[in-house]
Structure 1
Amino acid sequence: MRILVIYCHPVESSYNAALHQQVLSSLRQAGHEVDDCDLYAEGFNPVLSREERLGYHEVPSNRVPVQGYVDRLLWAEGLVFCFPTWCFGLPAMLKGFFDRVLMPGVAFDISDPQHVKPALTHLRRISAVVTYGRPRWTAWFMGDPPRKVITRYLRLLTGGSARVSYHAHYHMNVATPHSLKAFQARVARAMERFA
């Protein structure tokens, strides 16, 4: 399977960086063709400019500022996200990727505003590997926006056809070497079975 891995963390020595490497290694060992999109390393600009917003509905010219990322997204049959949860949301860099790349004519067809149609129907599989500083109950109390974006919104953009999995390590603030190692092993198994 062709898989686009979208990684978002600024620190190369972080636990998220170790999870990112585990994702890449396990997917490749399973025989997948992997495109590694490291948003920070690539210098992705998350800011939707005034000009982009004015041209947001102008398909296909709206793609021009992010055409390379659009091409990578359309190439993929599966997506794997790897990111931390900050302030109970997506990191700004990743949110900016969603704002700028998941646009009309790419992620959805809005030519009939009453009946918006999904356009990521080529995606068969979506997964996320996510860390949280707080315990699960706190994320649940806050509505767990990252989980909903991955498991509901992205799935909606595939027309409901993609299988979705979500792997979260909660309460990183009190994580132990044992819990970190166990979660990384869980991620490795999930990526080895990714299909």
Structure 2
Amino acid sequence: MRVLVLFAHPLSDSFSAALHRTVVEALTRAGHEVDDCDLYAEKFDPVLSAEERAHYHDEPENRAPVEGYVQRLLAAEALVFVHPVWNYGFPAILKGFIDRVFLPGVSFRMENGKAVPNLQNIRKLAAVTTYGGDRWRTLLMGDPPRRIMMRSMRVRIKPFSPVRYLALHDMNRADEARRERFLQRVKREMERF
């Protein structure tokens, strides 16, 4: 299976980077073809320009500035997001990727004023993430990243596709043993992906 891994963290020595390496290695060992998209290493520009916004609904003109990324998304059969949760949301570079690449005609199409899912090529979806806060505080804030993955992203892909959300909460107080347990859980999940 062709898996597009979207990684968003600027530091190569971070725990998120360790999760990213674990995901890529486990998927590769399991025999998947991995397209590893490290947004920071690729210097992805997350800013949606005024011109891009003006042509947001103009297909295929809307794709031109990000055509390479659109092609990678459309070639994938599965998606895995690896990122931390910052301020109860995605890192800006990942949010910008979603804004600029998950376009009309790509992740959805408009039919009679209604958005219709369009990523039928994606048959599996997973997110691997960390939260600085504990689970209760995250729930109190509404857990926007989980909702986006489990609701918004889920409805854009092939219906009834499996979706996994793997999260380590309270990262700010997680000791080495707890982090290692989470890495092993991620490894097992990706080997079975």
User: After superposition, what is the alpha-carbon deviation per residue over 1:19-66, rounded to whole angstroms, capped at 9, x for unaligned?
Assistant: 000000000000000000000000000000000000000011110000
* Cα distance between partner residues in 1 of 2:111 and 2:67: 20
User: What is the CA deviation profile of residues 135-169 of structure 1, one whole-angstrom value per residue up to 9, with x for unaligned ones?
Assistant: 00111111100101111111111253321000000
Aligned 1:46-195 pairs, distance under 5 A:
46-113=46-113, 115-158=114-157, 160-194=159-193
**Alignment length, in residue pairs?**
193
The 1-side partners of 2:115 and 2:54 are apart by: 20
8 Å contact 2:121–2:158 — kept in the other structure?
Answer: no
Taking structure 2 as the reference length, the TM-score comes to 0.98
SS at match of 2:19: helix
1:159/1:25 CA distance change after superposition, 3 Å? closer
8 Å CA contact 1:121–1:161 kept in 2: the answer is no
Per-residue deviation, 1:2: 0.4
Q: Helix, strand or coil: the match of 1:120? A: coil
Shift of the alpha carbon at 1:112?
2.1
Q: Distance in 2 between matches of 1:21 and 1:83?
A: 12
Q: How far apart are the structure 1 equivalents of 2:183 and 2:50?
A: 41
Counterparts of 1:7-18 in structure 2 under 5 Å?
7-18=7-18
Give the partner amino acid of 2:175. T
- Aligned match of 2:42: 42
Query: How far apart, in 2, do the equivalents of 1:149 and 1:98 lie?
Result: 11
Gaps of 5+ in 2: none
SS at match of 1:116: strand
- Following TM superposition, the consecutive aligned residue runs of length 4 or more in structure 1 with deviations greater than 6 angstroms are none
**SS in structure 1 of the partner of residue 64 of structure 2:** helix
8 Å CA contact retained: 2:123, 2:158 = no
Q: State the percentage of identical aligned residues.
A: 52
| Alignment root-mean-square deviation, CA | 0.8
TM-score norm. by structure 1 comes to: 0.97
